[in-house]
Amino acid sequence: MNRNESLDLMRFDLSKIIAHNVMKKNQNESRVSIGNVSANSQCFFPFARLFFLTMMFSALLLTKVSWATQENLIANASLEKAKGNVPAHWSRGQWGDLKATFEYPVAGHASKRAMKISVKSFSSGDAKWYFKDIQVNPKKEYIFSNWSKSSVSTEVTVKFNFINGSSKYVWLGTVIGTGEWKEFKTSFAVPVGAVSMTVLHTIGQNGFLIVENYSIQEVSPISRFSEGMVSFTFDDGFASAYNSLPILERAGIRSTQAIITGSLTGEGYVNPRYVTKEQVKEIAKRGHEIASHSRSHLSLVKLTEVQMQDEIIRSKQELANFGIIATSFMYPFGTYNEEIEATLKRAGYAGARCSNQGYATPLSDRFHILSQNVNSNTSFNTIKEWIDKAVAEKWWVVLTFHRQEKSTDNIFSNDPILLQQIVDYVKLKKVKTVTFGQGVAMLKR
């Protein structure tokens, strides 16, 4: 493939990401998801994860559990082998209206050779280096890492390719540009049917990005719980979700209700469709978990530090004022970064759910729990597949619901009959159900 072909290919593929970026920037939740197969690309993932991985590896070494990672699957991952003015097995990609300059080799952090991209005259698009697709095992979990230094925030996305030629992008995270070398590290699972993948570390604004020392390793053995699990989480605190609680309770299931606390105090995001504070207290008394969904339901990455902290810390305090200790947080619009995560930890939250699509395993990051979104266009068969997959792989599937109304015009709603069907199926298959907080408590990281 010559350079132009590869550029065209990336441009074509990345059109999906453009849409995601546009949606991500949109504060209107309903617009975020209409026609959006993946409300799921909206999750930002912090990279300050090395500490936890180190702790986890140490803990495992101490307990003599062996799940050492395998070889690095990326060819020429250290970029030492050149082929003309690019590293062997690597390509350059860009799309949109920008001027990108690719340089190789440039001085690296841990190695002699790194790759650099400088972007000027940016108005749209992005630029990236990416490695030749590698084969994936859909049953495996992988750990990706690289080192980078950038003047602006950059994005890391894994692109999975399917046998029918289609692709799917899963956002792995944002690396905040500080001008310092940083390691980005995360684990992820492979969607059903994926045959190969590459990782795109993209720069989508004026500035520079230097990358090096890439690694993808299979985690072996795959991490599993003792059995598959399902959680029922409901976002925003809709009264219709409250009205549907008997469907769950009749089956002995306890849900997690993510409340926008400003709607209770009257200072924030007030909506007459939401539950009252008396109802929230009652839900907690009935044994359901109350999670924070922030105070005002704003995209936290767009706020000042003070505003962001207020959304996270005060929402916890407001629930505490009602006698509720919230340890779970659901990111409004699924957006977050390392500072938001640090604030959540300081505030005393134990875990958080984003809107990226997928399953959780014991090695999942507790502040980056993937979920499956049940919307007005989600069929029962699809949900059944998610549950079957969680049971077969002994993974945890977190279902995310919003309104429980038979509504034709709102994507964030489903007929409560569907909820009943799901509950019946879970009971029939004797699938373990946990609240979000109970699931988080079972994670190893």
Least distance from Zn ion to the Cβ atom of residue 403, Å: 11
Least distance from Zn ion to the Cβ atom of residue 417, Å: 23
State the number of binding residues for Zn ion (CB under 5 A).
2
- Footprint of Zn ion on 131-160 (CB under 5 A): none
Least distance from Zn ion to the Cβ atom of residue 260, Å: 7
Least distance from Zn ion to the Cβ atom of residue 299, Å: 10
Residue among 175 and 283 whose Cβ is closer to Zn ion: 283
> Of all helices (H) and strands (E), which one includes residue 428?
helix 416-428
Write out the E strands in 237-366.
256-259, 289-292, 328-330, 351-357
Burial status of residue 389 (CB atoms within 10 A of its CB: 0-12, 13-18, 19 or more): middle
- Footprint of Zn ion on 347-406 (CB under 5 A): none
Which bin fits 398, alpha (ψ -120 to 50), beta or left (φ > 0)? beta
Least distance from Zn ion to the Cβ atom of residue 402, Å: 7
CA distance 334 to 32: 11
By CB under 5 A, which span of 94-102, 152-160, 167-175, 235-243 interacts with Zn ion? 235-243
CA distances from 337 to 42, 102, 165, 175, 372 (A): 11, 27, 32, 8, 21
Residue among 235 and 393 whose Cβ is closer to Zn ion: 235
- Phi, psi torsion values for 246, nearest 5 degrees: -55, -30
Q: Which of 155, 212, 235, 311 binds Zn ion (CB under 5 A)?
A: 235
CB-CB contact of 207 with 151 (8 Å): yes
> Of all helices (H) and strands (E), which one includes residue 420?
helix 416-428
Alpha helices, DSSP H, located in 286-401? 305-309, 315-321, 338-347, 380-393
The CA-CA-CA angle for residues 122, 125, 131, to 5°, reads 120
311 is a contact residue toward Zn ion (CB under 5 A):
no
Residue among 24 and 128 whose Cβ is closer to Zn ion: 24
Q: What is the DSSP letter of 172?
A: E
Residue among 126 and 235 whose Cβ is closer to Zn ion: 235
Residue among 183 and 235 whose Cβ is closer to Zn ion: 235
Residue among 236 and 341 whose Cβ is closer to Zn ion: 236
By CB under 5 A, which span of 50-58, 195-203, 233-241, 318-326 interacts with Zn ion? 233-241
236 is a contact residue toward Zn ion (CB under 5 A):
yes
Residue among 402 and 445 whose Cβ is closer to Zn ion: 402
Distance of CA 189 to the CA centre of its chain: 11
Q: Nearest to Zn ion by Cβ — which residue?
A: 235
Residue among 148 and 292 whose Cβ is closer to Zn ion: 292
Least distance from Zn ion to the Cβ atom of residue 159, Å: 27
CA distance 207 to 122: 9
By CB under 5 A, which span of 81-89, 90-98, 231-239, 369-377 interacts with Zn ion? 231-239
Least distance from Zn ion to the Cβ atom of residue 285, Å: 24
Least distance from Zn ion to the Cβ atom of residue 294, Å: 8
- Phi, psi torsion values for 113, nearest 5 degrees: -120, 125
CA distance 129 to 117: 8
- Footprint of Zn ion on 15-34 (CB under 5 A): none
Residues 210-229 as x/- pattern, contact with Zn ion by CB under 5 A: --------------------
* b/e 413-439 (16+ beta carbons within 10 angstroms → b): bbebebbeebbebbeeeebbbbbbbbb
Residue among 228 and 334 whose Cβ is closer to Zn ion: 334
Query: Which residues are near Zn ion by CB under 5 A?
Result: 235-236
